[in-house]
Chain A
Amino acid sequence: MEVLRPATLAEALEARSARPEAFPIAGGTDVMVAVNFDRLRPEAFLDLSRLDELRGWHEEDGEVVLGAGLTFARIERELASLPALAQAARSVGSPQIRARGTIGGNLATASPAGDALPALAAYEADVVLGSAARGERRVSLREFLLGPKRTSLEPDELVLAVRFRSPHGPGSFSKVGTRNAMVIAVASLCLQLDEDARAVRVAMGSVGPTVLRATEAEAFAARALAEAGAFDAAAAPVPAATLREFGQLAGAAARPIDDVRGTAAYRRHAVEVLARRALSWALEGRPAGRRAAG
């Protein structure tokens, strides 16, 4: 099997355009599993692991820009200011996998269980795609993720980066799985409070064809928090019934299936619990926050 090894991003985009059958590979933590299981037999690989342009992260125009080649190990280490994303990164595989696996790979693989995707969805991130012919374009995550393992990436394009406005407010990522770690989630959830926009954003993994936003739950929570005065005063109490209803709305937004890892009914229940707890943690986690009824 042929392996193309471009040394620069420009060479990589040229190669991508000239050889669309060459399958892009970065950390290889998803791709090589697919090859091992005989689900993927590309004629060639396009190795992106040498591209310095994709490897880092920076801030630009008030946004955080994560290069597609940024590894989960670096996110875990360097992006503690984005706790939900850092928690998600920490829950990916083992330390060895996190040292190889990249956020661009998580996006391009587009698994419903991709650990970083709920956080990116809750951050309302955009994906930056590039091609030799047309340059860069920017699409929302929702436009990018079309379904299980399906994206709007064109055959001559590569994922270059993902970018979002750093949210002001607490956030968390949690998941339910069989083992403590190194496990594909049965259900996962990211909740992010956006105190500037007075919004609550909730995104769920492993409970639908792709990462799902629980928009009704979000709107309900934003209203309820506003009514309780919780956006203005961290100490303002939020009734337990509100948290429960929020959880139920999140559960209702799930579109889970039965598979070897869990049934649809359990997955729906699990995101209900995760959503309720996540909102409760978010309220507790603010400066001068007080314990919300759980």
Chain B
Amino acid sequence: MAQTAERVVGTEVRRKEDPELITGQARYSDDLAAPGMLWMKLVLSPFAHARITSVDVSPALQVPGVVAAFGGRDLAGEWAGPLPTAWPVTDDLKNPPMYPLATDEVRFQGEGVAVVLAESRAAAEDGAEAVVAEYDPLPVVLDMEEALKDGADLVHADLGTNASYTWTLTNGDVDAVFATAPVVVKERYVVQRQIPAAMEPRALLAEYAPAMGEYTLTTSTQIPHIVRVVLAAFVLGIPESKLRVRAPNVGGGFGSKIRVSPEESLALVLARRTGRPVKWTGDRSSDVLTTHHARDQIQEIELAADEDGRIRGYRTRLIANMGAYLLLVGPGVPLLGAFLFCGPYGGEAYHFECTGVFTNTTPTDAYRGAGRPEATYAIERAIDALARRVGRDPVEIRRMNFLPESDGPIPSPGGLTVDSGHYNGTLDKALELVGYEELRAEQRARRERGDAKQIGIGFSTYIEMCGLAPSRVLGSLKYAAGGWDAARIRVLPTGKVTAFVGVSPHGQGHATTFSQILSDDLGIPVDDIEVVHGDTALAPLGMDTYGSRSLSVGGVAVHRAADRIVEKARKIAAHELEVSEDDLEYVRGRFSVKGAPDRARTIPEVAFSAWTAHNLPEGVEPELDASAVYDPENFVYPYGAHICAVEVDTETGQVDVLRYAAVDDVGTIINPQIVDGQVAGGVIQGIAEALFEEAVYDENGDLLTSSLTNYEVPAASDVPSIRIDKTVTPSTTNELGVKGVGETGTIASPPAVINAVVDALSHLGVTEMARPATPERVWRAIQQAKGGAA
């Protein structure tokens, strides 16, 4: 039996997305224009906390080109409700309303107070500058621990507290384990605030067709489907059917475009009020203030262990900074890490609690990894602390605590059912890849010589949960939506394929990956497959892209829809070949009669028959078209071992990443090049998080790191030699065996880097290291260990 084509799953098919991206022909939201469109500009609060005493937009109306201007109160009647949070994690969660523009009080620097519409971008900018807003400053709340004390100044006076919620999880008899364990290690870590800095700032174009009452929003978003339902139902109060949301090419998101934004809300309302399209493009200066921030946790983690270092219990207390308001999934972000403070390690008891706290800062929400990088940071640093306490090597302590190796599901202390995993396998491979023995030898030599530049080796043997998510689990966590996704496959009469998918890529390469799956399923060349996404009118069903879900949920839906195509095609082929369906053998796009392989029908042939419909079997409808909606039964659990080698200048404190090895197990790999790109990008982002990215406010709540000059995202020169390899343990959650790879790099890498810095200085007595490990912080840690004042 001849195969119709070589399998393409698992091969490095060139990304279909790239030609338009690298030739500059891709169209982003900012490339779009509509006849008669107006430019929108928001006036942002310079104060972190203040009462708005007046907003006078009349000077703006004098600026040539300005068409309209509104303060928050002018538009207060437009909103069906505040911008909602979709994840009220507890019944008693405090969720103060945030509207697209503030009316009485501003609670973070960058909160909008007025909006200007003009004929040009320049006129809108000038108009916004002309608006006179007056404020009466209020006390500013910045420190999370201070904010939770009695008598603290309040971000929201009417709540009577700065605490939004406390969420807890307990498995096993935690108190008993901690009372009896001979070793308890207690650590405190601060995971600093990050500014997700997608290359393309947020941007949008809003259009309104008055005769039909129809709105179209083209927006740089990760979540067109969620934006549609939330904006229509909760913010604008219009029928969902009247709002079409499109995500064109989107230049990166990393979670920062999981948002139902003030700008989207305002633009739609103002398009209706003015009868003209409204365009807005954020600039970097406003983006750093108004696009959500991330991370920002204070962590206390305790490990209870036997004397030999075998872990028996975990206890974690978090304070998580929500910023001034709860955004779409902000309160739930720490919960995405709640089950992972035990890493891939065993134990019998587990406790987690998290308090979300309000401060006068930009609200926080999801950022690549969302909760899981924070959890991984805590456990991977704490297990090193345990290793130091019991006098074990960091490799040894990990090996002795790994969960049982298994091809099938295994329960974890955090209460998860891990789909599969061979943790020693990734660790062994990473040790070899990084050249561990050679690095340790070099470390010894430098220590003996007393060199100014010392070497350190850091580990992170992480596990994560992604593929968000089983809808029933989301329900139990009080998330307001499901976690399924959908695909519709249409085989066109000519044998070409269009796949409509509900996930919404912004750089990942879904079109290529899904084409590879479909090519193998249907025997159609990759180039003959088009993937349509990011448009609620064309692909009406979907839950969008975040949480490494696109392949492990959306891709499975694609595969299942393809199965249904084959199922229907088999009926037609059997009819035409005048055999029973059971007599047909199907291999990649070709049905052949068992024992008579020359009698065959291909999928394109069947598609044509299904279209002409001249001779279809009884009860079979025309067209070769099928849909599937897939709701996963479980998460998927990528894992791996990352090892980082750094050189630390003990005199200046400068850290250089010498070498980095990432060995991940992300299950079945569809496109190795795309997977490696995800790993490398994530690792670089995580190294930056460990070494230099930090959002800093001054005591007035002014964001000091308000440009890319002093908020330091990684540059090309910061990218070290990254050695990437894999093991493949298929997931048991889905039939493709895929696990998701979008976030592994940022989840794994920060503790590997910081553990390496600590390791480089351990002979000097350094055990603590704040992050980001800037030269000054490293130098201070050395001084402190020496017992001198820095």
Contact = CB atoms under 8 A, between A and B. Distances in A.
A37 B238 CA distance: 39
A77 interface: no
B121 to A, nearest CB: 14
A269 B718 CA distance: 24
B715 A180 contact: yes
A266 B779 contact: yes
Given A176-B652, A178-B692, A261 B714 contact: no
Nearest to A260: B704
Nearest to A277: B651
B80 to A, nearest CB: 36
Contacts of B691: 178-179
B452 A269 contact: no
Interface stretch (A98-106, A182-190, A197-205): A182-190
A178 B774 contact: yes
Contact of A273 (B651, B656, B772, B790): B651
A184 B717 contact: no
Interface in A92-110: 94
B784 interface: no
Interface SS, B side: loop
A269 B779 contact: yes
Interface residues of B, number: 28
Interface string A200-218: 0000000000000000000
B712 A181 contact: no
B525 to A, nearest CB: 40
Interface string A267-282: 0011001100000000
Contacts of B705: 260
Contacts of A293: none
Contacts of B651: 273
B285 interface: yes
Nearest to A276: B651
Given A260-B696, A269-B779, A178 B712 contact: yes
B710 interface: yes
A244 B772 CA distance: 30
* Interface footprint category on A: 20 to 34
Contacts of B285: 36-37
Contacts of A94: 715
A194 to B, nearest CB: 26
B775 A33 contact: no
Contacts of A176: 652, 654, 775
B56 interface: no
A294 interface: yes
B710 A261 contact: yes
A263 B653 CA distance: 14
A182 B654 contact: no
B692 A179 contact: yes
B776 interface: yes
Nearest to A95: B716
A179 B775 contact: no
Interface SS, A side: loop
A41 to B, nearest CB: 10
Nearest to B284: A36
Contacts of A182: 715, 717
Interface string B699-732: 0000011010110101101100000000000000
Contact of A186 (B696, B707, B714, B775): B775
Contacts of A269: 779
Interface in B744-780: 772, 774-776, 779-780
B587 to A, nearest CB: 52
Q: Looking at B283, B652, B775, which has the most chain A CB atoms within 10 Å of its CB? A: B652
Nearest to A269: B779
A262 interface: yes
B151 to A, nearest CB: 30
A228 interface: no
B717 A181 contact: yes
A160 B780 CA distance: 44
A178 B710 CA distance: 10
Contacts of A183: 712
B707 A178 contact: no
Contacts of A37: 285, 707
A226 interface: no
A270 B652 contact: yes
A178 B790 CA distance: 18
Contact of B709 (A33, A180, A181, A262): A33
A134 to B, nearest CB: 37
A265 interface: yes
Contacts of B772: 178
A180 B718 contact: yes
B520 to A, nearest CB: 42
B718 A181 contact: yes
A119 B779 CA distance: 26
Q: Looking at A179, A270, A274, which has the most chain B CB atoms within 10 Å of its CB? A: A179
The 6 A-B pairs at the shortest CB distance, nearest first, are namely A181-B717, A266-B776, A178-B692, A273-B651, A180-B717, A260-B704
29 contacts: A33-B707, A36-B283, A37-B285, A37-B707, A94-B715, A176-B652, A177-B775, A178-B692, A178-B712, A178-B775, A179-B691, A179-B692, A179-B712, A179-B715, A179-B717, A180-B715, A181-B717, A182-B717, A183-B712, A186-B776, A260-B705, A262-B776, A265-B790, A266-B779, A266-B790, A269-B779, A270-B775, A273-B651, A273-B652
Given A180-B717, A265-B790, 11 more contacts: A37-B285, A178-B691, A178-B774, A179-B712, A179-B714, A179-B715, A181-B718, A186-B775, A263-B776, A266-B776, A273-B651
